Amino acid sequence: MRVAGYTYVAAFVLCFHLTLSPAAAIEPDLIGAWAHDRAECQELFSRSGKATIFRTPVSAFAQAFIIEGRRLTTPNASCRIKGVKRIGDRRILTLSCTTSVASSDIPAIFAPAADGSLHRYTNQADTHGTRYERCSP
């Protein structure tokens, strides 16, 4: 019976690992600088070495973000990607974010589209989402 118990635990760990993958496994479809409108890319982003950064000053209300490595950055927050859970076509990122006011863990829901754009959803019931276009890989 002891072997059956270990098998059950191993199966649970494997299933959990498959549904909540480490941030290091971020899909290439999510990585890059993203803006609500590609025409805004030049005014929002620049390169610093190999990294993409926000130009300064950047509007705190700019609808844009950067996903690189284990980080998601917005004009107002810097977030560490703690994990990614895939549900259908959506990716639910578990983020640990810091702003100038507070730190908290929050989810972010994205779905890559066939045309290379990315949709961000406010919650799982959201069926429309907001479309973002890639500015850089």
pLDDT band at 137 (very low <50, low <70, confident <90, very high): low
Give the Cα separation of 14 and 71 in Å (integer). Answer: 25
Nearest to 108, CA basis, from 134, 137, 88, 82: 82
What average pLDDT does this structure show over 58-73?
95
Beta bridge partners of 90: 87
pTM of whole model > 0.75? yes
Predicted confidence at residue 94, as pLDDT, reads 97
Tokens of 104: 């908290």
Taking phi over 0 as left and psi of -120 to 50 as alpha, with beta for the rest, 129 belongs to: left
Nearest to 97, CA basis, from 82, 83, 77, 76: 77
Predicted confidence at residue 26, as pLDDT, reads 84
Give percent of the chain above pLDDT 70. Answer: 80
Tokens of 101: 């006011």
